Amino acid sequence: MSDLMTAGTVTITGHGGNEIEAYCAYPSDAADQPSVVVLHHMPGYDRATKEIVRTFAAYGYAALMPNLHYRYAPGAKAGDAAAAARDAGGVPDEQCLGDVQGAIDVLRARPESNGRVGVIGYCSGGRQSWVVACSLDVDAAVDCYGGRADPGLAPNLRCPLLGLFGKEDQSPSPEDVAAMAAALDANGKSYEFHSYDGAGHAFFSVDRPMYNLEAAKDGWKRIWAFYGVHLKGE
């Protein structure tokens, strides 16, 4: 690979046929690209999450992050749009699913696509990644410390799941993670959970105090191994 990539904001068709913005990062010179939909955290479609999108492209994945807050303040800065979404009562799951489906459609339609699409989300996006994995046609899902995920959806899980959690997190707490694992076991689902000692919530966030180098480094390795199998076919 040359490490060249194309990155920037594009317009996609999301829930209800609405046009929303999305941040893409596509490798420039690879064929048979696996794809990933990235779901941002509550603070929104921000610089740090765009950096994550570009990281996927650096590893050979076509990545696309829909701005789930776009409707609430088109053209606004990430923080203002996140505040507007909160003021409006938050992003309904149905709307999120429509936006993610729009992103999946864009990724699968690319001539460079190998047809496989994964999803990954952080914080609130982690819970949304779980909802996507239980609702839409994706090939692999990663939930990074998504709190308030409903274990009752476990029977509907459609794809392999990787969960990355901090043992010091209060939501999801270790008890929440155990309850999710029990629900998945009870339903015979394929999953892989890793919970890190000394790590709390948002340990991947390089621009926040919660960043945990050890957990983040191992977490990225787990993601590359997991997507390597399920998206690249390694």
Partner 1 sequence: MCTYLTTTAPVAGSAYAGDDWFAVNRAVVYFDHPQDAALDHALCIDVWGTGERVAVELDATSARALAEAILATLDSDEVAALT
CA distance 42 to 93: 14
Contact between 41 and partner 1 by CB under 8 A: the answer reads: yes
Contact between 171 and partner 1 by CB under 8 A: the answer reads: yes
In the bound state with partner 1, the residue whose beta carbon lies nearer, of 200 and 228, is 200
> Restricting to residues 189-228, which ones interact with partner 1 according to CB under 8 A?
200-202, 208-210
CA distance 152 to 72: 30
Contact between 74 and partner 1 by CB under 8 A: the answer reads: no
Contact between 46 and partner 1 by CB under 8 A: the answer reads: yes
**Of 126, 177, 180, 160, residue with least CA distance to 228:** 160
CA distance 195 to 159: 20
Kindly tell me the sign of the dihedral angle through the C-alpha atoms of 105, 109, 112, 117.
Answer: positive
Contact between 138 and partner 1 by CB under 8 A: the answer reads: no
How many residues contact partner 1, by CB under 8 A?
28
N-term to C-term CA, the chain:
17
Contact between 151 and partner 1 by CB under 8 A: the answer reads: no
> What does the binding site for partner 1 look like in residue numbers (CB under 8 A)?
41-44, 46, 73, 78-80, 82-83, 86-87, 90, 123-124, 147-148, 169-172, 200-202, 208-210
